[in-house]
Amino acid sequence: MKIIMVKLLSIIDPYKMAVKQLRNAVELLGYDKSVFEILSKPQRVLEVNIPVRMDDGSVIVFTGYRVQHNNALGPYKGGVRYHPNVTRNEVIALSMWMTWKCSVTGLPYGGGKGGVIVDPRRLSIRELEELSRGYIRAIAPIIGPEKDIPAPDVYTDPQIMAWFMDEFSKLKGYNVPAVVTAKPEELWGSKGRIYSTGLGVAIIAREAARKIGIDISNARVVVQGYGNVGFFTAKFLHDVGAKIIAVSDSKGGVYDPKGLDPEKVMEFKRKTGSVIKYPGASTITNEEILLLETDILVPAAIEGVITLDNAASIKAKIIVEGANGPTTPEADKILFKKGVKVVPDILANAGGVIVSYFEWVQNLQGHVWSEEEVKERLERHIEHAFHRVWLKAERDSIDLRTAAYLVAVERVVKAMKLRGWI
Ligand code: GLU
C-alpha cells in the first residue's frame, strides 16, 4: 500500500493535470497562445514559514502557501488545506481549479488556494491554533473581503476559520467577518455551509442519474473519503433512499451490499478514528472501492485516484467528483469512451464555494438568511450550472469536464478582454 502511494504521488502532478485540461479548452475555444500563457500560471504565489512553539517547548517551522491564480471575475476565493503532502504545485493547481469552479457556477470570484505542509492530526489544539493564527498573519497583507477570501479545505474546519477571522480582525482593529467563509454560525457563518459541499454533490448526483434514467431512490452509491464532503454526500443520498454500499477513509474502507447507514458509520468513525472494522460490513481497500459495481461513484478524498491504471476497470455509470482533481486527463479519455458520465470537480463540488459566496454576501450586508433560503438558493444555483454544462456536452458531443471548462474559461477570457488584459 505504502509503495503504491509513493508511486502515485511521484507520477501524478496535479499542476500538470490542470495545465493539460486548460490547454485542451484553450485549443477548442480557438484562443491565442497568449491566453494559455496567462492562465497556465498563477498571478501570485506567496510562500510563508510559520514558527510554532510546540507543547514540548521545541519550535517547528511550518511552510505554507497562498496562491492567487486569477482575479478577472472578482476577489480570489478558495480554501486552505492542511496536509503533509501539500506542495507548491498542488496549491497552484487547486487555485486554478477554483478559478474555473467560480467561473462555471457564475460566482463573482476569481480563484485562489492555500496550503500548509503539516499533519494536523498530530498537533494539539493549542499548537493548531498557533499555527493557524501564524499562517493568517503571514498572508494577511494579500487577503481581505475585497482581495482574497480563504475557506476550509482538506483537514481544516470552522474552528480554524474562527481563528483566521479573529486574528485578521485583531490586526485590523475591528471585526472583519467577510475575510473568511465557512465560519461557525455563532461567528457570522452561514447556515448550511457545513454540509453545503455534500448537499451540492448529492443534488448533482440526483440530476445526473435522472439524465441517464436512473432513479436516485434506487441507486447504489460508493463514496471514497469520509471527511466533510464524503460523509454529507452519503447522508443526503441516503436520505433520499439511495443505497450507500461502500465508504472509505485514509485507513481503508467498508462494503455492505445491503447498504450502510452513513450516520452510524460516522458515529463509529468518531469513536474509533476510522470507518474500518465497522460491524457487519466487509473490509475493502481504497483501490478496490473504486472498482465496485455501482451506479454512482463519488471520489471525495484526494487527487489522482482514477488513472490510466484503473480507469478501464471502473464499473460505475456515473462519477461525481467530490474531491478536487481525482481523475487524470488520461483516465478521462478512457471513461468517456466507455460511456461513463464524469461530472467534474469544478461543477460537482461547487456547493461549498456557492454557500461561501452566500456567507460573504450575508456578512457584507449584515443579513442572516434562514437555512431554507440557503438550501433553496444553493439548489437553484447548482442545478442551473449543471444543466448548462450537460446541454453543452450533449450538443458538442464532448465529455462533461471539457464542456465545463469551455464555459468556465470562456467567461474568464471575456472578462480579461473587457478589462484590457489581453
Ligand atoms: N475548499 C473548497 C473548494 O475546493 C471550498 C472553497 C470555498 O468555500 O471558498 O471548493
CATH code, domain with 86: 3.40.50.10860
Q: How far apart are CA 358 and CA 261, in angstroms?
A: 30
CA 63 to chain centre: 22
375 occurs within a structural domain = no
**308 shares a domain with 257:** yes
**173 shares a domain with 261:** no
191 occurs within a structural domain = no
Q: Grid coordinates in use for 394?
A: 450533449
77 C-beta closer than 6 A to ligand 1: yes
**Among this protein's residues, is 113 annotated catalytic?**
yes
235 occurs within a structural domain = yes
**202 shares a domain with 74:** no
Last residue of a domain, one of 179, 212, 229: 179
**171 shares a domain with 63:** yes
**173 shares a domain with 48:** yes
**244 shares a domain with 156:** no
Measured from the CA of 356, which atom of ligand 1 is nearest?
Answer: 8
Measured from the CA of 350, which atom of ligand 1 is nearest?
Answer: 10
pTM, entire model: 0.97
156 occurs within a structural domain = yes
379 occurs within a structural domain = no
Domain count, the chain: 2
Measured from the CA of 80, which atom of ligand 1 is nearest?
Answer: 1
Among residues 113, 235, 269, 317, which one is catalytic?
A: 113
The residue whose CA has the least distance to atom 8 of ligand 1 is 353
213 occurs within a structural domain = yes
**240 shares a domain with 137:** no
What CATH number did the domain enclosing 334 receive?
3.40.50.720
Q: Which of 98, 101, 358 to mutate to test the pocket of ligand 1 (most atoms within 8 A of CB)?
A: 98
Per the CB < 8 A criterion, the answer to whether 335 and 214 are in contact is no
295 occurs within a structural domain = yes
Range of the domain at 222: 196-348
**258 shares a domain with 232:** yes
**106 shares a domain with 209:** no
**268 shares a domain with 149:** no
Q: How far apart are CA 135 and CA 129, in angstroms?
A: 10
Q: Which of 102, 103, 179, 197 to mutate to test the pocket of ligand 1 (most atoms within 8 A of CB)?
A: 197
Spell out the per-residue pLDDT of the chain, length 422, in tens: 444 444 444 468 999 999 999 999 999 999 999 999 999 999 999 999 999 999 999 999 999 999 999 999 999 999 999 999 999 999 999 999 999 999 999 999 999 999 999 999 999 999 999 999 999 999 999 999 999 999 999 999 999 999 999 999 999 999 999 999 999 999 999 999 999 999 999 999 999 999 999 999 999 999 999 999 999 999 999 999 999 999 999 999 999 999 999 999 999 999 999 999 999 999 999 999 999 999 999 999 999 999 999 999 999 999 999 999 999 999 999 999 999 999 999 999 999 999 999 999 999 999 999 999 999 999 999 999 999 999 999 999 999 999 999 999 999 999 999 999 99
**222 shares a domain with 174:** no
Radius of gyration of the chain (CA): 20
**207 shares a domain with 147:** no
